[in-house]
Every structure is written in structure tokens, then in C-alpha cells.
A and B are shown apart, each in its own frame.
Chain A
Amino acid sequence: MTLNRRASRHSDPSSTGQRGGVASIVTDRRRFIGFLIAAPTLAAAAELGLSAPRSAEAAIPSGPQPPEIYDLNDMLKDATLPTSNLITVTINTDGTASFALPRAEVGQGITTSTAMLVAEELDIPVHKVNVTLADARPELLFNQLTGGSNTTISTYTPIRVAAAIAKRALMEAAAIELGDTVDRLTAKGGVIQAPSGSSVTYGELATKAAVQQTRRVGVSLKATADFTVIGKPQNRVDALEAVTGRKGFTLDLDLPDAKPTMVCRAPTLNGTPKQIQNMSEVLAMPGITHIATVSSGVAVRGDTFGQVIDAIRALDVSWNAGTVEGKSDASVLNELKAAELPLAVPPLGPFVKTVESAFTFYFRSNSALEPNAAIADVRSDRAEIWSGLKSPIVAQQEIAQMLGLPQSAVKVHVMTSGGSFGRKLFYDAALEAAEISRAMGKPVRLMWHRTDDARVGRTHPMATSRIRASYLAGNVLTFEQRHTSVSTNFAHGLGEIITAMAAKLPVGGNLSFAETIFTLSQEVPYNYGVTDQTLTEVDAAFNTGSMRNIYSPDVCTARELMTDQLANALGKDPYKFRREFLKTDRVRAVLDKVAEVGKWGRSMPSGMAQGIALHKEYKGVNACLVELDCRPQTVDRKVRNAWTGPRVTKVVMAVDVGLAINPRGLEAQMQGGIMDGIALALTSSLHLRDGYFLEGSWDDYYYTRQWNAPPEIQVIVMPSDVQEPGGAGEFGVASAYAATACAYTRATGTMPTSFPINHNQPLGFVPKATVPPIPQSPTDGLTHTY
């Protein structure tokens, strides 16, 4: 049953003689058990842990690293196996299908790809599938975490099984209705037709096909060759709502008594409130209804956010010290350097040469454009929470614990989010809103000011990477990478309180969890002889988290820069060198594609250059070619209140994620990843000074803007032999980041060793005040019209 898929293709003698056997295995791989659920209309379900038997990779010539055999997504998927529960597709009397997805839509397009899976097996148009986000479902245990680019990998099979069972039940009900047999019926667009011409719609069958008692049933999924929806470009199901302003985010919810609420925060990171000096004066300000001291600061509730901003700026609060008092970039860098593990390989002899370098990656903000926000309505015996949550079960558990309520008394609604990039794995807004609502005895609409998000929100941790590689006679003998990082917080665990607690334990705890994640996600795709990558973490005092990937963008960029150094040392072209040293043809194919389409090696003016890099993770492979303009007239171009610098003029990316369920959505994810990669390489970071981050909004945190964006982008979705989907949400960042860094090296002749490259240049802005903690809104908006 678990026969290796590749083995059968690579003419393994044990399988080539049994072609029929292989065919039956393929059939078995599509045969699953699910349930018909007792309900008023037809409802079919599958266990969320379902997946086709995993196929191990073929033998790999030199020492495979863990992710090649068992990667982060296998861990996330297997975490679900013993504890999974049912997800249900319901057929409605209007002929539509409904499905509540136990994941968070944060912009990555999973409601669209999920609708496609249901539409495929049901043979109905995608627009007839209504996908909503499920409330926190504690019975799903591990299986309501949106992270690690895992949604599609984990849900691809069970969603199709549920839809296929519904389809089968509809066909059986139609056979009775039309007085014919199932095998003579055809279904198209939600209508089932008999050869006689008589027909019946799914809507008409919804009640008739419903069952009185839940029962197990078997079903076969569609063969890949029969797909008409999966694999075809599909526009997003929420596009109309998005462009009309009707798409509802947490802060847009119509709950009139949940009044605007914000928190006045300490001038240094994680400082706590000591005393309010002027409570009664601020409470008397126009529109202000409540003030309450909570663990994170002083909360203010009022009629409009504008008035709450005024009140927060007027508050006079004394503060206790924060968690990183006095620390700055330089002191954290010293901590990291002191913790770096030594490179282990001893000198290998007089003729062996080495390349070696150390890289520094500064703190970066993972703030989405929608600020951190939550609505909470806490009563004495129950609570209701609305927020964009990627780990809603553990959020529910912690809120219940804080409020002293049973878990079942806390209802947690997962709202669609205005971006996440890892931020919404943390439920700090939901927890804070619950604490404030309890303190005030009122429902609250909590919004973090942008400056709160920038200064006390989650950051991608500062890190160093030291690499030494040795080579002799055209071969790379060793490759060592020592990645040392400020601790990445995985306190959300795998989405529920057991692993969340494990990640918080003082011994083992976050470090062993982090090391596991690192080991399961990092691999070197080249034949570099003895390969050793390690992670060491220090200093858990910062508010860190994943940021559109965890370690890979930094680890990959350091590795690809050193790959260029190795190529140079061996007198080889960067593209040809990679080609020669790559472990697999699958990676070679994406590399060749970008070299061909991007015209690798074409002549460019002095000060401009191409860079090429690749990345392998999340069961996919990805290569990127970047053209970068570092000429003075470009670098020094002026845009008002903005950072300009080198300009990426063109990007070509080729991606193979296995089965691309929605190539159009995959292309969009790669385009977004490219913008992140450019920001990480060139412009965006946080500067830590004296215990706080200097950046306080989008005018000083230089995420990629139109004036930094490449005018030309081409994303090529590769045809793939792999039949199952891989991850996509974070996948475009690393290779774009690395290729930009490699292009910068080639354009300027100097390899950058700290990122982003502008971090140690003079600040491009005047830091905003820390007291009051948020800036006042300007009043001159009417002088900036166009």
C-alpha cells in the first residue's frame, strides 16, 4: 500500500513487472472512507487527518538531511492523525454547498482553493460553494492551526473525500428519483440527468438525500486526469467583496456597544503600568466612557477612535521597566556572537581551501496592514470573542483560563484577516480585549495603533549565520552553517494548549521546539559533502514570531551568497555551478527555467547585475532570477519621505509546488513573496535602541512600496510530476531575498554581510516620540489631494 511512487517510475525491478499491481495501488490511493451525517439536508464528512499514503523520496546520492525525508509539514500533518475529527460538506436546498474551513483566511487564498476542491468533486461551479471560517473547535485539538504553509497539504484529501461522498449520495438519491441506475446518470453544474432526458437538481435532492443516522461509507476520488477545476486558474471567491469595501474585517463588525478601545503602552518594550496620575481629567474628555489599568497598559474606551487617541495622548502614566531595558542592536549582536557554536570541521590538509563569512540579520516587523484587533464581550458567566486567529483553540483555552470560565463558555469566532505573515498565530489582541472587557464590564472593539504594532508587536528575531565551506579540486568537501538567533516564540505550539505549554516549559521548552522546527525545515539542496546546519537560540525577552517563514529566508540567503563565493573560488559561473552541484533534477528544472526565461548572463550596464538563487522547502522547489540597478542615479533618486536605494527592475521566478490547485493564486503568493524578499534584502528592518524599537509606522518601517517594486515580474508555475500539493504561502520569499542579495554583490563587487543592506546607514527618519506612545493624526490632509 505504501509503495514508493518514485520507485515505480524509476523502473524498480520489484514493481516494473507488476504494472497491474501499480495501477491497483493508484486506485487504492484514491479510495477513502468517510461519513454520511444525520442532518436536515445532505451532509457528508471526512476525518481531517486523511491523506494518501506518504511516499518516501527516492534514494539520494549524498547524505539526505531530515527535511528530505520528513519535513515540518509531515510533522504538522502527523500531529493531526490520532486526534482528528470530522469536517463536513453540506448541500443546501438552493443547490449550493457549504463548508466551514477550520483554518484562517489571511489573504493567502485558502477559501478560494477550498471552494475549488469542493466544486471539483461535486461537479458544481466554484461560485456555488460557500466557504466560511469555523469557530474555534477544541475537539480538533492540533488541527486548527494555520501555519507552516500547511493548510492545503493537510486538507487536500479530507475536503475532497467529504465532497465526493456528498456527490455519491446525490447520485444515489437521483437514481431513485429518476427511476434509473447511478451508472447511467451524469452530473453537470449541479444537475443530474438520466438518458431519458429527465433531470433533477442538487437543490431538489438536498433533503431527499439526507440521512437519519450517521454511517460510514467508502468513496473513490476523481482521478487527476479528470480534474476540470483543480489545476486551472481561478479568481478569488472574495474578490467582489474586497473591491467594493464589503469584505468585513474584525474592526468592521456591526456590534454597536463594542465601542472603540485602545491601550496606552509603556515607552520601552513590554513595560508595565505603575500608576495613572490624571485618570479623572482624561475620563472627563469628550467621548471617553471607560479607563482601566490592565497588564499591558492603560486601556481607554470611547465613542470614536479619534477621541480615544486624544485620551491616550493625554494620559500621564508612570511605568515599570520592560523586558529588554537598555538593549540595542549592538548589545544583542554581542549576545548572539557569544552564543555562536564553533565551526567544527578541523583543517583538512594543506591543499584544502575554505570560504567563510558571517552574516547579521536585524529585527524585522511582521505587522500586517490590518492592525492587531479583537472584539470581546465578557460577561460573568460567558465570553464571546471575534478576531483574526490562526490558532483559535489555544486562544480559547487561554482566555477561558484567564477569565476563570469553562472552555465551553468562551465562544471564539475566527475573522478573516487583513494579512498575517505569521502575526496572527499569536492571539495577544484577543487575550488583551478579553482582559479589558472584563475590567470595564463592557464589550470592547480593541484596535492597536499602528505605532503599537510597530514597536511592541511581533518581530522576526535578529540572527547571525556563520558559514564555512571547504573545497578541493573542483569539489566541495564540507559545508557548515551555524545559525544563531534571538529566540523565536512558538508559544502557540501546534495550536492547542498541550504543545503550547510544552513550548513554554523552562527546560527543553521553546528551544527544543525551535530546534525541531529548524531541523524539519532546513536543508541544503546541493551536494556539498559533509553538511551540518545548526540552530542556537538566545534571549527570550523579545516579542518574536514567524514572519512569512521562520528561519529559511535568512538561512537561504546566507547559503546562496556563499554558494556564489564557492562558484567564484572554483572559477565557475553562479548558474552553471549550482546546476552542477544540485542534488535533484526537480530543482535543476526550476533553475534552468529562470536562467532561460530571464536570459541569464545577458550583458548589463555597469552598476546593474543579475542574481540567481534557489530554495527548497514545503515539498516544493523554487528558483529566482533578479535584475538589480545599483547605479548612483537610481540609488539616489528622491521620493518624498521615503527610502529609495537600489531598484529591482525585473524578477523571474519558477516554482514547482507539486500539484498547484490554483495556479493564479499560487502566482499571486509568489508575487507577494518577491516583495517581501526585496524588503528583507534592501530596506526593511527595526532598529533597537535603549530598550525600544525606533520604527513606529509605515513611513519609517520601509516595507516595499511602488517605488521599490519591480516593474517587470514573471512567475512560471512548472508542470510537476508530484501529484499532491505542497505549501505556497511563504515559499516565494527566500529565493527572491537571496537572488537580490546575490545581484547586489555582483553589481557592486561587495558581498553584503548584514541585512537589510541599509540597516547600518544613517537613519532615514526622525524617530517618533515614545511619550505619548502614539502620534497625533495630522490635520493637513486637504493639502495633499490629487
Chain B
Amino acid sequence: MPEHTFKLNGEMVTVDVADNVRLLWVLRDVLGVTGPKYGCGINVCKACTSHINGAAFNPCSVPVSQIKETDEVTTIEGLPGTVGKDLHPMQEAWIDEDVAQCGYCQPGQIMAAVAKVNQARREGRVISDADFDEIRNICRCGTYFRIREATRAGAKNM
């Protein structure tokens, strides 16, 4: 079987798996990285949201063969490492605002929030209600309001 090498949460990893297996299953079933969750497998629920080279993406919809050796994949497990701390400011805000209920979608929500704040910054803006309306991550417990509060609070410390 073909080998695939890429950087995952700060470390180079090599996996021996068929080309077309989506990255989500490489992370969860081969590498045992279970922070990114399965919720639909067709890139609509966004529970698996992670970062590739700092941008939000959904590994359920990316064959592992599309990940290059120079690519850096960050899952929720690697998020604190991007700021060199035990917790990223967005995770701290999530705890302070007591966002999570069942918690299943929250790794993806946090990864989406960090990317959305960065995107607004690149465009010279503070994150707004219009930006929140673009976040597609579903939360079946209905924590949307606290997600908004926590994202605003987390952005201040990013």
C-alpha cells in the first residue's frame, strides 16, 4: 500500500493506507487521533473541522493522497501547540463561557472559530454577527449563542 507523509500536530507522520481513504479515517482509525468527530461524512455538519496550513478544512472530504509532505495538519489536539501553551485562548474562552453541552461538535466549533477570527483579521475586521452567520458547524444541543459569546471573548486574547 502507498505511504503518505505529512506533518500532524507538529510531528511528521507516515501512514500506510490506500490513496482514496479520506483523511478523517486516517486520523481516527489509523493514527488514533479522535478529536475530529464524524457527523455526516459529506462535509456538511463540520464536526471534523481541523486546520491545514492554518486554514479550516474538513478531513472527511479530503483523500489522504491530496495531503502533501509539506502540509501541516492541526487537529484540536494540536491547537494549544500552535500558541505554545496548554490551552489556546479560544479553548479557555470555551471553558469560561461554559459552551459545551454534549461536547461532540465542540472540537470542530473551536477550530472553526479560530479560523473565522483569523479570516476576519486578515480582512481587517473584528468578527461580527455576519461572520457568525457563515459558520456552518452544526450543534444539535443548540449552543450557538454561547459559541458566539465565547468566540468574541477568545478573539480578544488571540
Name A's B-contacting residues (CB within 8 A): 106-109, 235-236, 238-249, 251-252, 254, 260, 286-287, 303-307, 309-310, 367-371, 416-421, 447, 449-450, 639, 641-642, 664-665, 668, 671-676, 697-699, 703-707, 709-711, 713, 774-775, 777-782, 784-786
Contact = CB atoms under 8 A, between A and B. Distances in A.
Contact of A706 (B30, B44, B133): B133
A240 B95 contact: yes
A703 B133 CA distance: 14
Contacts of A251: 28, 34, 38
B106 A778 contact: no
Given A244-B77, A706-B135, A711-B148, A699 B106 contact: no
* Interface class of chain A by DSSP: loop
A236 B45 CA distance: 24
A777 B61 CA distance: 6
B135 A369 contact: no
B42 A369 contact: no
Contact of A254 (B24, B32, B36, B132): B32
Contacts of A786: 55-56, 115-116, 119
A785 B140 contact: no
B100 interface: yes
B157 to A, nearest CB: 14
B42 A249 contact: no
Nearest to B101: A107
Interface of B: 1, 17-18, 20-26, 28-30, 32, 34-45, 47, 52, 55-63, 66, 75-77, 80, 87, 91, 94-96, 98-107, 110, 115-116, 119, 129, 132-148
Q: Kindly name the residue among B38, B52, B100, B137 whose own CB sees the greatest number of chain A CB atoms within 10 A.
A: B100
Nearest to B58: A781
B119 to A, nearest CB: 5
A668 B99 CA distance: 8
A307 B143 contact: no
A569 to B, nearest CB: 35
B44 A419 contact: no
5 contacts: A251-B38, A447-B38, A641-B44, A786-B56, A786-B116
Nearest to B51: A785
Nearest to B91: A243
A662 to B, nearest CB: 10
Given A304-B29, A697-B40, A786-B115, A777 B22 contact: yes
A672 B101 contact: yes
Nearest to A674: B142
Contacts of A305: 25, 28-29, 38
A704 B144 contact: yes
Contacts of A706: 132-137, 144, 147-148
Contact of A673 (B42, B76, B95, B142): B142
B104 A675 contact: no
B105 to A, nearest CB: 5
Contacts of A241: 103
A785 B119 CA distance: 11
Given A109-B101, A777-B22, A786-B115, A704 B47 contact: no
Given A242-B103, A304-B17, A675-B144, 4 more contacts: A243-B76, A246-B35, A642-B136, A777-B43
Q: Kindly name the residue among A246, A254, A310 whose own CB sees the greatest number of chain B CB atoms within 10 A.
A: A246
Contacts of B107: 243-245
A702 to B, nearest CB: 10
A232 B11 CA distance: 43
B56 A368 contact: no
B21 A307 contact: yes
A177 B2 CA distance: 67
Given A303-B29, A673-B142, A786-B56, A242 B38 contact: no
Contacts of B1: 286
